[in-house]
Amino acid sequence: MFNWLKNLFTYGSPAEPEASGVRARNAKGRYVKDDKSTPDVNEAYADGKTPKRKPRKTTAKKATAKKAPAKRGRPKKTAAKK
């Protein structure tokens, strides 16, 4: 949906900014994990909000016939016909 249209339907209530998706880092530059004791804030992200997940692309798999497994090793010797 367009942002201006979304703002039109909120009727003057301030719209919350969307999550940026930027991961938080500590002084060493490593990622910070989420603290489970604070359910309303996600410390793993810089703005404290978890971004929405993107929908997965669905791919149609083609129906293929299964092939017989390849034989391994040397072929068996057969008795010679006389």
pLDDT digit string, tens, across residues 30-69: 999 999 999 888 899 988 888 888 888 887 776 677 777 7
CA dist., res. 54 & res. 21, Å (int): 12
At 15, the pLDDT band (50, 70, 90 cuts) reads: low
Residue 12 structure tokens? 């003057």
At 11, the pLDDT band (50, 70, 90 cuts) reads: low
Single pTM value for the model: 0.47
* Rg of the chain (C-alpha set): 29
Amino acid 10: pLDDT: 66
Residue 38 structure tokens? 């604070």
